[in-house]
Structure 1
Amino acid sequence: MIAALQKGPASPKLLVYAAPFVESQKDFPARDDTGRELYETLSTLFFQRLSELSEADKSKYEKGLEELVNFLNEPETETQ
């Protein structure tokens, strides 16, 4: 994830995939210095790339994030 964000401008789709990793650190903080350093690097890159998005791409990011949240909140159905 970090390598993809380091390459340059990120797509809204990549940022949607990265958002849960950045957010998860609130509930599951790193246990060691290496983990904290990786999280700080990821978080810094994530917010940098997010700020670089055009208004149209910000809308795509927000829509993609909303779709991800909706998908994750859907109850599981059994397939037969």
Structure 2
Amino acid sequence: MINNQGRFRINDIGTDIHRSAREYYRTINDDFTSARGETLTESCFKRGDWNTEVYTRTTLSCTTDHFIVHAQLDAYENEYRVFLKTGKVL
């Protein structure tokens, strides 16, 4: 599933924005533990010499006893990574 909002501009504040998301889902036959969902997002904001980009990746899977969520957030300002966080929750 693709949700590409494209690029647009907020003229009142002179900011260019780009947003997109891709979602993937899969399962194998009747094996509910094979179910997996993944979402990838990209958000970019630019005004003058200020430029930020945020990327996320989230996956959801399961075992017979637990749901497993794995998430990553990666943020950049003017092409330099300023934040990265990865986490996993059962």
TM-score grouping bracket, smaller chain normalisation: under 0.3
**TM-score w.r.t. structure 1 length?**
0.22
Which of the two has greater strand per residue? 2
Instruction: Name the larger-Rg structure.
Output: 2
> More relative contact order in 1 or in 2 (CA 8 Å, sep 6+)?
1
**TM-score w.r.t. structure 2 length?**
0.20
